[in-house]
Chain A
């Protein structure tokens, strides 16, 4: 689904240019793309061997398997997010710089979608030594999040978290040179129900977060269409 998609985007772009310049529809452009807007697949695609000597196929990058523990001491895995889309970020409770702003921006997104059980939130602590489960629970409650199944505040061993931060393309690393001891970017990642990264947003920029709020429904629509097609 990826390659044809990329091609069709290519065609679409080409068509738009041609249409814009020529002002008419050319034969090659009559095939309408099925989706008007389609969020990109981010990350390095993987090559997969295809059958009988054909050129290898590619599939979009997917987030690896993970096992975390949330503020209710529940184990959460990729399965927890099956059939859902989710927004994820990396923070820590005592973060002196960007986290409060970032979490208040994520809260803004949460407020918009809290009525929709197909949208989940996952905040990872990058300071698991300090952010014990009681600390995470306290943090979540203070932020006004009572339902852990909608917004997970999760922890795992340090290395697991940092590997995941890389996997979600939201760089986080220990940096003794910065206040608080961690450098991290405040990026929000939007993940679809097939573990694919569909958007990256700077959680410190209101306009970027507005873009997330606008794009999330596009992804939900795509997911709903896919479900409808699969049900046929």
Chain B
């Protein structure tokens, strides 16, 4: 994880590699729960792959990552009810890169975020760090 972060950070300067940052961040911050391929875990953890929730809640996702999530949620017709922790350890731009990776992989084809937009959406939950 430390290594993944270090790699991700080291690549910050280069635009083409920045797309890769999303994948790296997913691997280090999300894969333990949502699975290496976004498949989720039985009825415990919802999938982010081909997720109708991801498609329908585009504007809420930055705050979902920042603040976490709890309570009943239905994803692709299956009901889940666990706790997802928040992520204070990611910058706004990292959240944007991470979500852009999720939004365009594993069967998701949703509109990407600009960093500016991610910061704005994060403002809704006082979750923007302006970076």
Q: Which residues of A contact B (CB under 8 A)?
A: 93-94, 96-98, 100-101, 103-104, 107, 138-139, 141-144, 179-180
Contact = CB atoms under 8 A, between A and B. Distances in A.
Given A94-B82, A96-B83, A180-B85, A142 B42 contact: yes
Given A100-B33, A101-B33, A139 B44 contact: yes
A100 B85 contact: no
B35 interface: yes
A177 B85 CA distance: 15
Contact of A103 (B31, B41, B83, B85): B41
29 contacts: A93-B82, A94-B82, A94-B83, A96-B83, A96-B85, A97-B32, A98-B32, A100-B32, A100-B33, A100-B45, A101-B31, A101-B32, A101-B33, A103-B41, A103-B44, A104-B35, A104-B41, A107-B42, A138-B81, A139-B44, A141-B43, A142-B42, A142-B43, A142-B44, A142-B82, A143-B41, A143-B43, A144-B43, A179-B85
A128 B55 CA distance: 37
Interface in B49-88: 80-83, 85
Contacts of A93: 82
B70 to A, nearest CB: 9
A93 B80 CA distance: 13
Contacts of A100: 32-33, 41, 44-45
A111 to B, nearest CB: 11
Interface of B: 31-33, 35, 41-45, 80-83, 85
Contacts of B32: 97-98, 100-101
Given A93-B82, A94-B83, A142-B42, 16 more contacts: A94-B82, A100-B32, A100-B41, A100-B44, A101-B31, A101-B32, A101-B33, A103-B41, A104-B35, A107-B41, A139-B44, A141-B43, A143-B42, A143-B43, A143-B44, A179-B85
Nearest to A139: B44
A103 B31 CA distance: 13
Contacts of B82: 93-94, 142
A69 B16 CA distance: 54
Nearest to B80: A142
Nearest to A98: B32
Contacts of A97: 32
Nearest to A145: B42
Contacts of A141: 43
Nearest to B43: A142
A143 B80 CA distance: 11
Nearest to A96: B85
B35 to A, nearest CB: 7
A134 to B, nearest CB: 12
A6 to B, nearest CB: 38
B75 to A, nearest CB: 13
B32 to A, nearest CB: 4
B72 to A, nearest CB: 12
Top 5 A-B pairs ranked by shortest CB distance? A96-B85, A142-B43, A101-B32, A100-B33, A142-B44
Nearest to B34: A100
A121 to B, nearest CB: 15
